[in-house]
Chain A
C-alpha cells in the first residue's frame, strides 16, 4: 500500500485526493499552526485601522469615528515625534556601525592569535555579556559611570577632570553611552559569525601569499577582509531593516528626564502614548510609521545590493 502511494506521488505532482489523504498528518498540523499564526501575527494587523480612527475602546474597531490621516498629520506636526525619529535613526545607525566594526576587528585580531588556549579563553569571556539581560547591563553601566564609579575614579586619578561628571545628566553623552553598551554586550557574540567566515577561507590562499612575500598586514588586508566581505554585507543588510527595532530596552532603562530630548525612541513614544496615556490611535500610527520605514529600508538595501552584484536576502 505504502509502496504504491510513494510511486504515484512521484509520478503525479498535482494535488490528488490520494495525496491529500496521505499527507493528512501534515495538513492537520498545518491547520493548527496557521490558525495560531492568524490569531497572533496576522489578526493584530487589523488593529492598524485604529490609526485612522478616533479609537474608543467602548465603540471598538467597527464603530469608532473615522478621521482619515488626522493622526498622522498630528504626529508629523509634533516636534517631539520628529525628535524621536531623529533619535531612533541616529542611535540605530551609530549602534549598527560601532557594533559591526568592533565585531569585525575582534574577529580578525582573535583569529591572528596562534595560542589556542588563549584564543579559546578570550572567546569564552567575550560571550559573557551577551547572556546578561539589559537590566543587569544597564545596572552595571550605571554603577561604572556613577559619581563614585570606576570611570570617574580613573579620570580623576589621571588628572583629566577635577570634579566627578554625572554622565547621565548630559545629553551629549547619551548616544555614545548607548553605543558603548551595545558594543560591550554584543561584540563577542556578533564576532562568532565573522570567525566562522574567516575559518571558511581557503588556507592555500594564505600560503600562496606568504610565498609571494606578503606580511601579516597584507594578508589581513588582501585575503581576510575580501574573504568575509559577503558575510559583512549580508549581515549589514539584515540589520539595516532592524535599525528601528533596536531602540527600546537600553534607551528606556538608561534614559531619564534630563536627557529625554536625545533618549526617546519611537518605541518609547508608542509606549508613552498608547499604554500610559491610553491613546491607542496615536500609538498605533507611530507604530505603523516604524513598520513602513523598516520594510522600505529592507527593500531599498536589497535592491541596492542586487545592483551592486552582492549577496542579498531574497
Chain B
C-alpha cells in the first residue's frame, strides 16, 4: 500500500513536470513570433535590419506606422475588407438562418429533399476553373459582389443553425400557429431570438473568413485594385522583396528611417490587430459553435 502511494505521488509529479514543460514551450512558440513582429514594427528601420530584436524594440520609432497608414492601397484594402466583412456576414447570416429555418420545419413537404440538395454541395463542386468562368459570365469578376454573393449560403453553416433549431421544442411553433402567426412571424419573433447564440457563432466564423480571405481578391479582382482586400495587399507587400512601391512611398515621407523589414512588420500588426483584440471576448461563441458542429448531422 505504501509503495503504491509513493509510486503515485511520483507519477503525479512527473506528469505535472511534463505538462509544465510542454505548456511553457507551447505558449512560447505560439506567442513569440507575434510579439517579435510587434517589437520589430515599433523599431527604427535601419536599426531593425541589423537583427537581434526579440521581445522589445531597441530604438523606438513610430515612423513605420506613419508610412503604412499613409499607403493608399492598404487603406483601400482595409475599406473593402471592412465592407465585405459587414455586408458579407449579415447577408450570409440572414440567408443561412432562413434556409435552416425552412429545413428544420417538421412538416415541410420538401424537408428531406432540400437538405440533401445542400448536403451534396459539401462534397461535389465544379472546381476552380468552371467556377471562375461562371463568375466571369455573371460579371461578378472585377466587382465587389464576388466576395458577398457566391459564398452566402454554405451548407456547413446552414447545418450548424439547423442542428440548433432542431433542438428547440416543436410546441413553440404549434402554439404560435394556433395564435394565427405565419411562418415569417414565427421565424422573426419566436425562433430567431432563441437562436442568438448559434447566430453569433456562425456570424463569427463567417466574419473571420471574410477578414482573412485573399485568394478570391487575387483570382477575381487582381486587375481592379479598388476592390482588392487588405490581406491581398498585405501579401503583395510581404512578397515583393524589393518593396518598390513601399520604398518609393517611404522616401517621400521620412527619408530612410523606415525599411521593408519594419514596414512589413507594421502592416502585419495593423492587419491582425482587430482580430487579436476581439477574439478573446468571443470565446464562448466559437466553443459552443464547434461543439454543435461536431455533433453528427
Contact = CB atoms under 8 A, between A and B. Distances in A.
Nearest to B280: A124
Contact of A133 (B107, B109, B132, B212): B212
A248 B19 CA distance: 34
Given A6-B177, A48-B130, A41 B11 contact: no
Given A150-B32, A267-B128, A283-B129, A215 B296 contact: no
Specify the main secondary structure of chain B where it touches its partner.
helix
Interface residues of B, number: 88
A140 B102 CA distance: 44
A158 interface: no
Contacts of B34: 128, 140
B248 interface: no
B291 A37 contact: no
B214 A6 contact: no
B153 interface: yes
B51 to A, nearest CB: 4
A213 interface: yes
A136 B272 contact: yes
A2 B30 contact: no
Nearest to A299: B123
A241 B123 contact: yes
A280 B133 contact: yes
A171 to B, nearest CB: 20
B157 interface: no
B178 A3 contact: yes
A211 interface: no
Contacts of B18: 109
A313 to B, nearest CB: 8
Interface in A147-194: 148, 150, 153, 184, 187-188, 192-193
Given A2-B177, A122-B26, A135-B271, 17 more contacts: A23-B183, A26-B108, A33-B153, A37-B117, A47-B127, A128-B30, A131-B279, A141-B33, A142-B238, A196-B294, A217-B15, A253-B235, A275-B128, A275-B132, A280-B129, A284-B130, A288-B127
Interface of A: 1-3, 5-6, 9, 15, 19-20, 23, 25-27, 29-30, 33-34, 36-37, 39-48, 50, 105-106, 109-110, 112-113, 122, 124-129, 131-136, 139-144, 148, 150, 153, 184, 187-188, 192-193, 196, 213, 215-217, 231, 234-235, 241, 248-249, 253, 267, 270-271, 274-275, 280, 283-284, 287-288, 290-291, 294-295, 298, 311, 313
* Shortest 10 CB-CB contacts between residues of A and residues of B: A47-B130, A44-B126, A287-B127, A133-B212, A148-B51, A44-B130, A25-B183, A274-B129, A41-B121, A283-B129
